[in-house]
């Protein structure tokens, strides 16, 4: 599916216009500033700043004659505005722009894993103070998974305490109790995780917040072994590797979303509207539940072991629906 191409040119022009409108008041407040210093403050190259100054030279009031255009004086590598054409105040945010910025900062402050939340909160306080009525704006910012559990975990991580958790592992469809020493909270793919040293596994593990059924803060500090290192999650939580099982599925049009949601090693067109996709999975138990949840337009091509597991569980489910509830034969067979 093709996506519209962003209008890079128009975005660049809008950015430059905003920069030019703020450049004049900035230079007025710093007469004789070095171009290199100004470029550093404004986050542009010296070349870009000189190009902006050349453009300002032909901007000004209607009439565009002597005395109408912005004027400046250069002394070596220093610049001074000598006529501002009325642009003597920084560009102000509109109410909508200010509200958007406040919402973005509130969201950033609530994001697990933000290293310097105090700096974000200070910036938010300044903007809300300057924006006046926006400080009490009726806007509630909630991230996916932003629950009492996430806040409880974040407080434990920031307090440096060990935790006892009851955790559901979807890949193995089992619930276990573990003691963990938290490393950090983070947000990946819209979900909150706590990364920690797991004393049970004796390794660094990632625990999804919404799969932690219970948590207790222990009366002992978190002790992270020297060999524990945070994982690189820049490519997501799941990282396929050649040692993981490879499954191949034949899917219909309605299941093509799999190729966008999961990292596939191979995608080929089959007969008609069918596609044949191959992807790595954590284990065949997870793959069995995954395939059974997809619907009738999916067929397991390989491995044969997975196809047999899916067939057996689907047959058992159909048999359960075929027998009336309370049938004594069913009760006897399940004892």
Tens of pLDDT, residue by residue over 69-99, are 888 888 888 999 888 777 766 656 666 767 7
pLDDT score, position 112: 55
Phi/psi for 144 (5° steps) reads -55, 130
Q: State the CB neighbour count (10 A cutoff) for residue 68.
A: 14
Yes or no: is domain 14-83 CATH 1.10.10.10? yes
The segment(s) of the chain belonging to CATH 1.10.10.10 are 14-83
- Two tokens, residue 286: 């997870």
148-221 fold = SH3 type barrels. (2.30.30)
Confidence of residue 325 (pLDDT cuts 50, 70, 90): low
Give the Cα separation of 112 and 154 in Å (integer): 7
Residue 128 above 70 pLDDT? no
- pLDDT for res 249: 92
Counting every residue written for the chain, the total comes to: 335
Which secondary-structure segment (H or E) carries 10? helix 8-28
Does pLDDT of 323 surpass 50?
yes
121 and 157 Cβ atoms separated by less than 8 Å: no
Q: Are 103 and 139 in contact (CB under 8 A)?
A: yes
Is the pLDDT confidence value at 56 over 90?
no
The beta-carbon contacts of 312-320 under 8 Å, at least 24 apart in sequence, are 313/288
pLDDT at 4: 38
- What mean pLDDT comes out for the span 171-199? 82
Q: For residue 245, what pLDDT is reported? A: 86
Distance (Å) of CA 97 to CA 88, 109, 151, 226, 227: 21, 18, 29, 46, 46
Structure tokens at 181: 């020493």
Tell me how far CA of residue 152 lies from CA of 45, 162, 185, 277, 323, in angstroms.
45, 13, 11, 40, 46
**Which residues are bridge partners to 181 per DSSP?**
197
Whether the model clears a pTM of 0.75, i.e. scores above it, the answer is no
DSSP strand pairing (264-269 vs 246-251): unpaired
Give the model's confidence band at 110: pLDDT under 50 very low, under 70 low, under 90 confident, else very high: low
Which ranges in the chain are annotated with CATH 2.30.30?
148-221
CB 269 within 8 A of CB 293: no
Q: Which residue has the higher pLDDT, 245 or 330?
A: 245
Compute the mean pLDDT over every residue in the chain, rounded to the nearest whole number.
77
At residue 187, the 3 state secondary structure works out as: strand
* CB-facing half-sphere around the CA of 240: CA atoms within 13 A: 13
Enter the tokens of residue 319.
């048999």
pLDDT tens, residue by residue, 3-41: 334 443 444 666 677 777 788 888 888 899 999 999 888
């Amino acid at each position: 599916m093709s996506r519209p191409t962003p209008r890079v040119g128009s975005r660049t022009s809008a950015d430059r216009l905003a920069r030019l409108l703020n450049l004049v008041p900035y230079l007025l407040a710093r007469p004789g500033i070095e171009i290199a210093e100004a470029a550093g403050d404004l986050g542009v190259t010296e070349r870009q700043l000189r190009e902006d100054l050349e453009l300002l030279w032909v901007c000004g009031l209607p009439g565009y004659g002597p005395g109408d255009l912005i004027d400046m004086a250069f002394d070596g590598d220093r610049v001074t505005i000598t006529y501002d054409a009325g642009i003597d105040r920084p560009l102000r945010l509109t109410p909508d722009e200010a509200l958007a910025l406040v919402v973005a900062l509130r969201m950033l402050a609530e994001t697990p894993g933000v290293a310097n939340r105090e700096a974000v909160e200070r910036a938010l306080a300044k903007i809300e103070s300057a924006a006046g009525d926006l400080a009490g704006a009726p806007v509630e910012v909630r991230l996916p998974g932003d629950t009492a559990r996430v806040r409880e975990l974040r407080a434990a991580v920031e307090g440096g305490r060990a935790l006892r958790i009851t955790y559901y592992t979807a890949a193995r469809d089992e619930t276990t109790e573990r003691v963990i020493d938290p490393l950090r909270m983070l947000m990946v793919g819209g979900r909150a995780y706590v990364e920690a040293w797991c004393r049970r596994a004796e390794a660094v593990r990632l625990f999804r917040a919404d799969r932690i059924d219970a948590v207790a803060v222990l009366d002992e500090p978190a002790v992270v072994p020297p060999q524990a290192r945070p994982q690189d999650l820049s490519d997501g939580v799941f990282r396929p590797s050649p040692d993981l099982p490879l499954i191949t599925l034949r899917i219909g049009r309605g299941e093509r979303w799999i190729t966008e949601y999961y990292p596939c090693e191979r995608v080929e067109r089959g007969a008609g509207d069918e596609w044949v996709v191959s992807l790595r999975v954590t284990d065949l138990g997870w793959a069995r539940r995954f395939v059974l949840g997809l619907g009738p337009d999916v067929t397991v091509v390989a491995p044969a072991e997975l196809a047999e597991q899916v067939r057996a569980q689907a047959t058992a489910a159909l048999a359960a629906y075929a027998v009336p509830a309370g049938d004594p034969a069913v009760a006897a067979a399940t004892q």
